[in-house]
Every structure is written in structure tokens, then in C-alpha cells.
Amino acid sequence: MRLFGAPLSPFVRKAVVIAAEKGIEYEYDPRPSPLGWTDEFEQINPLKRIPALLPNPSNLDYAINDSSAICAYFEKLQPEPALYPTDPEAYGRALWIEEAADTDLANRVGMGVFRPVFFNLASGKPADTETASEGFEALGKVLLPYLENQLGGRAWFAGDMFSIADIAVMTQMMSLDLVGFGLPQDRFPALRAHFDRCMARPSIASCREQNNKFVEKAGFQIERVSG
């Protein structure tokens, strides 16, 4: 089994964390990314999106693409520990929170905050922290308050278990934190506590450590703006 995708992609993180939680082993190819695609990747995913998973690395024509599809595949491949609730209501909520995180939240985090910092640094330009700050404030008006309220004083987003919903949100929050925009405790106490709770899990702590090493190796100097 081989997993493809740049390590700083929040969608790659989703697959990496799920696999770690379940003890699923795979080969990892970090090369395909929006900054450059390998020659074979268009055959694996003609849409050129990451992550991609080859259950059989010798068969490039049979891939599982999209983080949600890969995570659901991992759940069926290794059912324990379960990361999707069995209760119908909690299951539906988990899928909704995952969808919200993967779509509008991902777009606003990626385009509005992460790219102005990281992509500028990757192309040899100064980080555009002004644009990133504006992007973060836009998040703080609707989406972050919504997620804060959805926790409702609970430890996890869907029922009483750590699930795909928590992983999907957390991977986006990691992108914010990586470019200097941590969640402010005074504005989003429930979300900040959720982030810290997730970071205490070995699967996520290891992923975060690898992300930080990648940034350090690249030599990027990232200013801490919040959190």
C-alpha cells in the first residue's frame, strides 16, 4: 500500500492520522503537491489532488483518491479502533463536521491564511502576514464561532468519542498553527481545548512533529501572530 501527498496538506494529515490510530502500515511518497507533480501522478489521479492511495502499488490504474474516501477505506480495512460513530445521529454529525471542515473551512484556511504565508516563503518571497491576518479575522466571524458552539462543552464533536469529525477539524487547525495563527484561548476556549486535547494523542503529536521538522528543514522563518 502506498500513500501519496505533501505532508503539509491537511487532507494528507487526515489519512496519516487515521492510519496511525489504526496501526495501518504503508509506503509514503511525499512528492506530489501543488508545487510540483510527479510524472506518474496524473495516471493515479487525473484531477491532480492529494492524497491518493494505491492499495496495490504496482497497479497505478486502481487508486483510492480523496481523503474522505481513503479514511472510510481505512475504517473498513481495520475497524478497530472505530473512528466513525455507530449511533445514527452521531454518525451523521461526524460526516457533516468532516464535510464542513473539508470544504469551506479548508478553503478559507488554505487560501486565506496558509497560502499567503507558506506559499510566499516557498517561492522566495516574504510572508504576507497582513493578508493572512485578514483571512484569520474572516474565519473568526463565522466559521470558528460555529465550531466553538458545535462543541457545546463536550470533549468531541460527534458523540462521546474521538472521531473523523475531530480529525478533520484538527488537521485544518494545524495548518493555521503551522503558519503562526494559533487559536486564541480568550476568543475560542472550547476549540483551543479541543486542539490541545487532540495534540496529546500520539498519532497527532507525531504528525505535528514531522510537519514542524519539514518547515525547519526548509529554513522558513514563521512569525507567531496569535495563539
- Residue at grid coordinates 478533520: 168
- Please give the residue that has the higher pLDDT: either 79 or 220: 79
- The confidence band for 81, taking pLDDT boundaries of 50, 70 and 90, is very high
Look at residue 220 in the predicted model and tell me its pLDDT.
83
Look at residue 33 in the predicted model and tell me its pLDDT.
79
Assign 227 to helix, strand or coil: coil
Q: Which residues contact 15 (CB under 8 A, 6 or more apart)?
A: 3, 5, 51, 53, 67, 70, 71, 74
* pLDDT higher than threshold 90 for residue 105: yes
pLDDT digits (tens, 9 = 90+) for 109-139: 999 999 999 999 988 999 999 999 999 999 9
DSSP state at residue 56 = S
pLDDT digits (tens, 9 = 90+) for 10-62: 999 999 999 999 999 999 999 887 777 888 888 899 888 999 999 999 998 89
Task: Give the C-alpha separation, 210 to 30, whole Å.
Answer: 12
φ/ψ (deg, to 5) at 226: -150, 170
Sheet holding 27-29, edge to edge: 27-29, 2-4, 52-54, 64-65
- Residue at grid coordinates 488537521: 171
Look at residue 99 in the predicted model and tell me its pLDDT.
98
The alpha helices in 105-223, defined as continuous H runs, are: 106-109, 115-122, 129-139, 143-151, 164-178, 189-199, 202-218
* pLDDT higher than threshold 90 for residue 227: no
- The confidence band for 86, taking pLDDT boundaries of 50, 70 and 90, is very high
Number of separate helices (H) and strands (E) present in the chain: 11, 4
* pLDDT higher than threshold 90 for residue 217: no
User: Which H or E run contains 44?
Assistant: helix 41-44
Asked if the domains at 2-77 and 88-218 fall in one CATH topology, the answer is no
pLDDT digits (tens, 9 = 90+) for 141-189: 999 999 999 998 899 999 999 999 999 999 999 999 999 999 999 999 9
Q: Which CATH class is domain 2-77?
A: alpha beta
Look at residue 172 in the predicted model and tell me its pLDDT.
98
The arithmetic mean of pLDDT across residues 49-77, rounded, is 95
* Amino acid (1-letter code) at residue 131: T
Look at residue 226 in the predicted model and tell me its pLDDT.
83
- Give the three cell numbers for residue 58: 504496482
CA dihedral 10, 223, 186, 145 (to 10 degrees): -40
Average pLDDT across the chain, whole number = 94
88-218 maps to which CATH number? 1.20.1050.10
Do residues 90 and 159 touch, judged by C-beta distance below 8 A? yes
Q: Kindly list the domain boundaries of the chain, sorted by start residue.
A: 2-77, 88-218
Looking at the DSSP assignment, which residues form a beta bridge with residue 156?
Answer: none
Give the residue from 177, 182, 172 showing the smallest Cα distance to 17. 172
Look at residue 67 in the predicted model and tell me its pLDDT.
97
